[in-house]
Structure 1
Amino acid sequence: MSFRSSLAILAGKSSRWFLHNFMHGGTSLPGKLTLKIDPNVLQTLAKDYEIIVITGTNGKTLTTALTVKVLESKFGHVLTNKSGSNMKQGIVTAFLSDKVSEKSGKKLAVLETDEANVPIICRYVSPSIFVLTNLFRDQMDRYGEIYTTYDKILTGIRMHPDALVIANGDAPIFNSKELKNKVVYYGFADKEEEDQKAPANTDGLLCPRCHHILHFKYRTYSNLGKYFCPECGFKRPELTYSLNQISSQSPQSSVFEIDSAKVELHIGGTYNIYNALAAYSVGRTLGLSGDESARALSDNDEKVFGRQEVINIDDKQTTLILVKNPVGLDQVLEMISTDKEPFSLAVLLNANYADGIDTSWIWDGNFEGLPFDRIPSVLTGGERYKDITFRLRVAGVPEKNFSQREKLEDVVSFIKQMPTDHVYVLATYTAVLQLRKLLSEQRYIKGGMD
């Protein structure tokens, strides 16, 4: 290790210790400081690790958390950036905080990685596995179309042709280009087959070979499912790991089978079943049996901040859920609509760089499908509260049930007065951070995210 790297790591660890113990934070600033001293320090920090990179539009943070849970059941401690700080500085901070496992001595790192940062990270680390969750339109001002985003990911993967790619086989884009890497696929295989098409405004509906509209033998949501092209024969690849059956679903949980192994996942939503399937696939790849992987997923009750995190606010069970693009929003709206009890709803909209500065995506979300007859109170807030207020008025929220609050302090005060015991709060990324900071200051949650 060079003197420069040693100095950078010492400075980074010292700053992290101070921020973590006295400021209740430190997810990216220590990494920024370390990189300022040694821009190549990540290569030094990561050199002895077996690294798994997890990327995609939706589900990166929860897939990472579930994968860590599965692997820790066999290998003990696993390094990860569990706060969701998924750019270069956040990943450096994660390495600065690591403690080597006493259980096996195997140094594993599971890294949630921003899509555009995959090629940046891959210059310094050598992943053994890439996990690809999905690709949907998201922050168009930053990423562009899904094909542009996939090209960025592929640039990183192609730097490491010996790495295994574990991809969502239900996503046509992940089967659209040839790779030197070995690729295994996971997906759903639980539905009756019937020739169908997706709605016209769905992402990625054209065959990558002949540009004919893709058909589906069955579809889970958006462009995910058992797809095929009736013109040229392009079709979903064979799945290595398959979801065979969904027994039950609620906003709080899902019960399903993967390769006949039963999983009781303590978090709702079909999209989270995909996340669990990805984590299961990594476990099987690294030597866990199907039952061992399923048991670890079933034992997981750790809530990731902002991802269906339940916070008690003066006896209001408040479920905080990150929303950031039309597909993810629709899945969340569909999930909360399965709640059999009346509930209240708050939607907080910001439009900072980390959220995406274009808010037009809210118009693609199916707010009209919400069961407003079972939602006696709807609140809008955030820096762009006027935009989301107008959107929900168009969706048909009864005016007598509707309120708006610009300031988060007023949002929290209003939540305490909502007429139901359960409140869902849907919020964009920076709104999640701001709300959690306020709730920490008011002692409803512990400060910090790492």
Structure 2
Amino acid sequence: MGIRSYIASFVGKSSQWFLKTFTKGGSSLPGKLALKVDPAILDHLAKDYKVVVVTGTNGKTLTTALTVNILQQEFDNVLTNPTGANMVQGIVSTFLSAKPKKEQKKFAVLEIDEASLSKVTDFIKPELFVFTNIFRDQMDRYGEIYTTYQMIVDGAAKSPEATILANGDSPIFNSLETVNPRKYYGFDHQADQEQMAHYNTDGVLCPKCQHILHYKMITYANLGKYYCPNCGFTRPDLDYKLTNLSNMTNTSAEFTIDHNDYKLEVGGMYNIYNALAATAVAEYYHVAPEKIRKGIGFDEKVFGRQEVVEIDGKKCTLVLVKNPVGLNQVIDMIGLSPYSFSLVSLLNANYADGTDISWIWDGNYEAFSTTDIPKVIAGGERHEDMTKRLKVAGIPEDKLTETQSLDEVIEQIKQLPTEHVYILSTYTAVLQLRKKLADKGYMKGGMERG
């Protein structure tokens, strides 16, 4: 390590120690300071690690957490960025915090924002890239899905020997030739049945001839066993397969991957994909099934991923939503609930959320109008837009309350008529709500992602 890198590392670690000792936050600031001293500091910090990068629209955080849980059953040194700081400065801060044991294999499993991937791979050379999915999300930042995919393909190409482990059920991941070798994971749990995706689904045009794709099996959105009847474009052979889905509830799932049975302690089809991706990583590194099983079964909810917070006797499940596909999967998951529940929907439109809120009109809020929900609260900085969307969806006005104040939202939750409450929230609203709940003693932490 050169003198410049040494100074950068010292500045970053010193600021990190100060922030952790005297404040409650600052996950990215040490990285910013270190980068100012040495823009190439990441190259030095990461050089002894086997780096696994997780990127894509939805599922990055839970896939990363599950992968870390599994690899920790096998390896002692597994570094990750649990605060969710998934841009360049946050990745630098993650490596600055490392305290690895000497002379042992070191892993870094990193969640990286799609738009930041190419910047990060200027300095680190991952061994494995995990591509979860590409859906329309934050159009102001990413553009259309093919633009987003090109971003991550270009980022991966800077480490051409690294393997791309992609969701084989997503047509976009088979749409381009890559310099990187590829492996695929996916679902193979149902008999073939001719079908087509819902008419309001993105990404169902064949990337080779632009005809509409057909399916022999669909899990959700445009994911499944696709093929083009016009030119023969088809889903690639799967290297890692989910072959049986024996049970799925609003809080858990049981399934079989490559002849081994597993149980996941969060609900929803979309989260099974996250577990499948993490299992594929583990199999890639030859981790034994019993260790995979223990890692997947670890019942620790991560930031905004079905966290349960008790507010004066109300069991509140906090779920992050940020785009139509993710929202619809959450709505489907909620629909599996065996009990009555109330609903809170919080909408912000800051830069980190995406400033374009038109996506709420593609979400299937209409499903809630056919569910017996006794009370709905619309809140957040864009509470008026959220209220209008819920009214158009068919939520009766006498069941709907609107407020911008999160303090008032918390007070209203205490008065709800059901024991169970689902809180659907965009990213910055989750941060704000968690801080309020932490300040009031309902949960530990707050602004930081865990």
2:37 aligned partner: 37
Residue in 2 aligned with 1:17? 17
Separation (CA, whole Å) in 2 of partners of 1:449 and 1:336:
23
What is residue 182 of structure 1 aligned with on the other side? 181
Match of 1:55 in 2: 55
Contact 1:377-1:419 within 8 A present in 2 as well: yes
Unaligned 5+ runs, structure 2: none
Q: Is the 8 A contact 1:215 1:230 kept in 2?
A: yes
In the aligned structure 2, how far is the partner of 1:194 from the partner of 1:146? 27
| Distance of 1:251 and 1:297 partners within structure 2 | 17
The alignment-based identity, stated in percent, is 56
1:83-124 CA-partner distances (Å, limit 9, x unpaired)? 21110011111111112147x711100000000111110000
Equivalent residue runs for 1:169-208 within 5 Å: 169-208=168-207
Shift of 1:13: 1.3
What residue number does 2:415 align with? 417
Instruction: Name 2:6's counterpart in structure 1.
Output: 6
Residue aligned with 2:72, SS = helix
CA separation in 1, counterparts of 2:77 and 2:49?
Answer: 12
Aligned pair 1:285/2:251, yes or no? no
Q: Which moved more, 1:324-333 or 1:92-101?
A: 92-101
| Offset, 1:22 | 2.8
Amino acid at match of 1:268: G
User: C-alpha displacement at 1:273, in angstroms?
Assistant: 0.2
Could you say which residue in structure 2 is the equivalent of 1:260? 259
| 8 Å CA contact 1:78, 1:101 repeated in 2 | no
Secondary structure of 2:32 counterpart: helix
Give the equivalent residue in structure 2 for 1:247.
246
Q: 1:145 to 1:449 in 2, by over 3 A?
A: closer
Which residue is 1:95 aligned to?
95
Displacement, 1:373?
4.1
Q: Following superposition of structure 1 onto structure 2, how do residues 9-158 of structure 1 map, counting pairs within 5 Å?
A: 9-101=9-101, 105-158=104-157
Q: Could you tell me whether the CA contact under 8 Å between 2:254 and 2:264 is conserved in 1?
A: yes
1:349 and 1:385 in contact (8 A); partners too: yes
SS of residue in 2 equivalent to 1:73: coil
* Residue number in structure 1 paired with 2:385: 387
1: CA distance, partners of 2:286 / 2:223: 28
**CA distance in structure 2 between the partners assigned to 1:372 and 1:211 by the alignment:** 36
User: Is 1:215 equivalent to 2:210 in the alignment?
Assistant: no
Equivalent residue letter for 1:11: V
Indicate yes or no: 2:231 matched with 1:232.
Answer: yes
Q: Residue by residue, what CA displacement relative to the aligned partner does 1:347-404 show, whole Å, maximum 9, x if unpaired?
A: 0000000100000000000011126543111001000000010000011112221111
Structure 1 contact 203–223 (Cα < 8 Å) conserved: yes
> 1:275 corresponds to which letter in structure 2?
N
8 Å CA contact retained: 2:369, 2:394: no
Deviations 1:280-314 (A, max 9, x none): 0000001113343233212x111111111111111
Aligned to 2:35, the other structure's residue is in SS state helix
* 1:356-367 → structure 2 map (5 Å cutoff): 356-367=354-365
Distance 2:301 2:20 in 1: 20
The count of residues paired between Structure 1 and Structure 2 equals 448
Alpha-carbon distance in structure 2 between the residues aligned to 1:101 and 1:62:
26
Please say if residues 136 and 145 of structure 2, whose CA atoms lie closer than 8 Å, have aligned partners that are also in contact.
yes
Whole-angstrom distance in 1 between the partners of 2:146 and 2:294: 36
Q: 2:164 corresponds to which residue?
A: 165
Larger displacement relative to structure 2 (153-162 or 351-360): 153-162
Q: CA RMSD in A?
A: 1.3
Partner letter of residue 21 of structure 2? N
Whether contact under 8 Å (1:337, 1:371) holds in the other structure is no
Q: Which is worse superposed, 7-16 or 131-140?
A: 7-16
Separation in structure 2 between the aligned mates of residue 245 and residue 401 of structure 1, nearest angstrom: 40
Report the secondary structure of 1:370's partner residue: helix
Is the Cα contact below 8 Å between 2:167 and 2:173 reproduced in 1? yes
TM-score normalised by structure 2 residue count: 0.97
Contact 2:246 2:255 in 1 (8 A): yes
Distance 1:429 1:120, change over 3 A: same
Deviation, structure 1 residue 180: 2.7
Q: Equivalents in 1 of 2:434, 2:18: separation in Å?
A: 21
Tell me the alpha carbon deviations over residues 61-80 of structure 1, each in whole angstroms, 9 at most, x when there is no partner: 00000000010000023100
Q: Secondary structure at the residue paired with 1:226? A: strand
Q: What SS does structure 1 have at the residue aligned with 2:146? A: helix
**In the alignment, residue 392 of structure 1 is paired with which amino acid?**
L
The answer to whether the 8 A contact 2:175-2:207 is kept is: yes
Match of 2:341 among 340, 343, 355: 343
1:438, distance to aligned residue in structure 2 (A): 1.1
CA contact (8 A) 1:259 1:290 kept: no
Q: Is the 8 A contact 1:8 1:37 kept in 2?
A: yes
1:250 and 1:347 map into 2 onto residues whose CA distance is: 22
Tell me how far apart the structure 2 counterparts of residues 101 and 237 of structure 1 sit (CA, whole Å): 40
Q: Where does the alignment leave 5 or more consecutive residues of structure 1 unmatched?
A: none
The residue identity in structure 2 corresponding to 1:169 is G
> Quick check: 2:317–2:421 contact (8 Å CA) kept in 1?
yes
Contact 2:368 2:395 in 1 (8 A): no
TM-score between the two structures when normalised by the length of structure 1: 0.97
For 1:435 and 1:15, locate their aligned partners in 2 and report how far apart those are by CA, in whole Å: 27
1:82 corresponds to which letter in structure 2?
P
Pick one of 411, 419, 436 that aligns with 2:434: 436
Which structure 1 residue ranges, 4+ long, deviate > 6 Å from structure 2?
A: none
Whether contact under 8 Å (1:116, 1:153) holds in the other structure is yes
Describe the SS at the equivalent of 2:77. Answer: coil
- Equivalent position amino acid for 1:25 in 2: G
Structure 1: distance between partners of 2:371 and 2:179 = 53
Between 440-449 and 274-283, the greater mean CA deviation after superposition: 440-449
CA distance in 1, matches of 2:208, 2:153: 18
8 Å contact from structure 1 (residues 253, 267) kept in 2? yes
